């Protein structure tokens, strides 16, 4: 079968969650199908992107989008009723290119990643699968509580528009998939139970235990321009760390990940290192005693937790993040809500090597058992083959 993969970003390198998900879906589906990749690209294209993707796809098309085009797209979206997150990527010229490629290759199936790209293909008669991945409307709603009075009206409007887009897209696609059951239950459609849950996996041949000197007590990783990550880092440094410091005055933290915003950079101190882009994220995990992800915003499955657990690093996270992960609190992972709870977990793990080892080992076994790219992608293959 010939599958046309339509993506909002080039799926290599895999420094963002949507790119990681698409890349592994492509690599596994390419074992059974012919893949054509069509991806939008903002900024400079990584020199290895096309050579790597050509290993799995019979054709790779990258459509550049400029800053001026994006600004124009957003302005148009304000007046056309599209959510800004959809309008950001949508314009008629790009649609013409995409439809031209579809006419050229005549795919048997279109795989569309994210609601952001759905408008390009939702009215085509070719069998289609939409990967919602996360529930964007819920992410916007959660940001409302902590937003400034100036931003709140815009976020409210964006929330309503995202709800409408997620609801109307449902009936336009033959198949729908999403990353977790909690996310599926948030989709604003009466038949949401029809959505197939396809979780992310973790590449355990790459992310595996590595013996390194522990230079840091805590590590947090991710794309450091992503608002939920920015908020989590501020919560960690400003709320949790002062409590830990009272008991562990020499505590050291590593914040590792691409594109740190100014809000992240100002968190640097003698206790906190902000590394920026890390060529091999395994080194960041391996050099820390504990992985901490105090996520307060966002939806979906946190790949960072899967990776850390696969490397046998004991993990602490929030109830929100564990809703999608579904690890056993107190056994495979530790859960905190307040700064005091997080600080208590951190101090206990630092003081109790046996506890830290047990959490790490059980978390490792949990990931091996439950999060396989091959198993999860097989669900997509079954859906596509039956549509």
CATH number of the domain that residue 252 is part of: 3.40.50.2000
Decide if pLDDT at 299 tops 70: no
Q: Which residue has the tokens 């005693």?
A: 289
Average pLDDT over residues 33-54: 97
* Co-location of 9 and 114 in the same domain: yes
* Co-location of 13 and 141 in the same domain: yes
Closest by Cα among 137, 140, 141 to 170: 137
Residue 145 has a pLDDT of: 78
Cα–Cα distance, 359 to 56 (Å, whole number):
37
Residue 326 has a pLDDT of: 92
* Co-location of 141 and 8 in the same domain: yes
The pLDDT tens digits for 106-159 are 999 999 999 999 999 999 999 999 999 999 999 899 888 778 888 899 999 999
Residue 15 has a pLDDT of: 84
Tokens of 248: 């562990």
Q: Specify if 174 maps to a domain.
A: yes
Q: How many residues does the chain have?
A: 387
For residue 342, count other CB atoms closer than 10 A to its CB.
26
Average pLDDT over residues 67-72: 95
Decide if pLDDT at 364 tops 80: yes
Tokens of 148: 């400034």
SS3 content of the chain, % helix, strand, coil (to 5): 45, 15, 35
Question: For residue 44, what is the DSSP state?
Answer: P
* Co-location of 86 and 31 in the same domain: yes
Q: Which residue has the tokens 């600004």?
A: 71
DSSP 335-361: E--SHHHHHHHHHHHHH-HHHHHHHHH
* Co-location of 338 and 230 in the same domain: yes
- Domain hosting 47: range is 2-201+372-386
* 301 pLDDT tier (thresholds 50, 70, 90): confident
Closest by Cα among 220, 204, 181 to 325: 181
* Co-location of 226 and 82 in the same domain: no
Average pLDDT over residues 309-335: 95
Q: Specify if 207 maps to a domain.
A: no
* 32 pLDDT tier (thresholds 50, 70, 90): very high
Q: Specify if 210 maps to a domain.
A: no
Q: Specify if 261 maps to a domain.
A: yes
Decide if pLDDT at 298 tops 90: no
The pLDDT tens digits for 73-114 are 999 999 999 999 999 999 999 999 999 999 999 999 999 999
Q: Where are the beta strands (DSSP E) in the chain?
A: 2-7, 34-41, 59-64, 109-113, 128-133, 175-178, 196-197, 216-221, 253-256, 272-276, 288-293, 315-317, 334-335
The pLDDT tens digits for 369-384 are 999 999 999 999 999 9
* Co-location of 333 and 257 in the same domain: yes
Average pLDDT over residues 325-341: 96
Average pLDDT over residues 218-242: 94
* Co-location of 128 and 262 in the same domain: no
Question: For residue 35, what is the DSSP state?
Answer: E
* Co-location of 98 and 156 in the same domain: yes
* Co-location of 382 and 362 in the same domain: no
Decide if pLDDT at 171 tops 90: yes
Backbone angles phi and psi of 293, in degrees to 5: -130, 80
Q: Specify if 171 maps to a domain.
A: yes
Cα–Cα distance, 376 to 29 (Å, whole number):
11
Calculate what percentage of the chain has a pLDDT beyond 90: 89
For residue 103, count other CB atoms closer than 10 A to its CB.
8
* Number of domains the chain contains: 2
Q: Specify if 334 maps to a domain.
A: yes
Q: Specify if 159 maps to a domain.
A: yes
Per-residue exposure over 273-302, b if at least 16 CB sit within 10 Å of its own CB, e if not: bbbeebeebbebbbbbbbbbbbbbbbbbbb
Residue 338 has a pLDDT of: 97
């Amino acid at each position: 079968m010939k599958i046309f993969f339509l993506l909002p970003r080039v799926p290599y390198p895999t420094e963002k969650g949507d790119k990681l998900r698409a890349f592994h879906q492509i690599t596994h589906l390419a074992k059974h199908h012919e893949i054509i990749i069509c991806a939008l690209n903002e900024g400079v294209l990584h020199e290895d992107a096309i050579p790597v993707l050509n290993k799995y796809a019979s054709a790779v098309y990258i459509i550049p989008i400029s800053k001026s085009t994006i600004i124009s797209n957003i302005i148009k979206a304000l007046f056309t009723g599209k959510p800004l997150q959809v309008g950001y990527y949508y314009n008629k010229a790009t649609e013409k290119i995409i439809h031209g490629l579809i006419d050229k290759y005549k795919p048997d199936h279109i795989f569309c990643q994210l609601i952001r790209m759905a408008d390009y293909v939702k009215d085509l008669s070719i069998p289609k699968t939409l990967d919602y991945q996360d529930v964007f409307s819920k992410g916007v709603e959660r940001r409302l509580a902590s937003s400034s009075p100036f931003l709140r009206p815009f976020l409210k409007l964006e929330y309503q528009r995202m709800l409408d887009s997620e609801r109307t897209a449902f009936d336009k696609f033959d198949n729908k998939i999403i990353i977790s059951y909690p996310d599926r239950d948030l989709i604003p459609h009466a038949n949401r139970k029809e959505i197939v849950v396809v979780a992310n996996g973790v590449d355990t041949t790459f992310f595996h235990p590595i013996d390194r000197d522990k230079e840091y007590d805590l590590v947090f990783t991710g794309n450091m321009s992503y608002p939920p990550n920015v908020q989590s880092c501020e919560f960690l440094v400003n709320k949790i760390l002062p409590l830990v410091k009272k008991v562990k005055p020499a505590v050291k933290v590593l914040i590792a990940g691409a594109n740190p915003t100014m809000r992240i950079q100002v968190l640097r101190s003698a206790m906190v290192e902000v590394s920026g882009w890390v060529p091999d994220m395994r080194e960041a995990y391996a050099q820390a005693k504990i992985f901490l992800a105090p996520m307060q915003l966002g939806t979906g499955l946190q790949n960072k937790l899967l990776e850390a657990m696969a490397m046998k690093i004991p993990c602490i996270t929030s109830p929100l993040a564990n809703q999608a992960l579904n690890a056993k609190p107190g056994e495979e992972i530790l859960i905190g809500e307040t700064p005091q709870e997080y600080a208590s977990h951190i101090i206990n793990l630092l003081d109790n090597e046996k506890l830290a080892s047990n959490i790490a080992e059980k978390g490792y076994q949990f990931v091996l058992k439950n999060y396989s790219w091959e198993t999860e992608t097989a669900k997509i293959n079954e859906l596509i083959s039956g549509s």
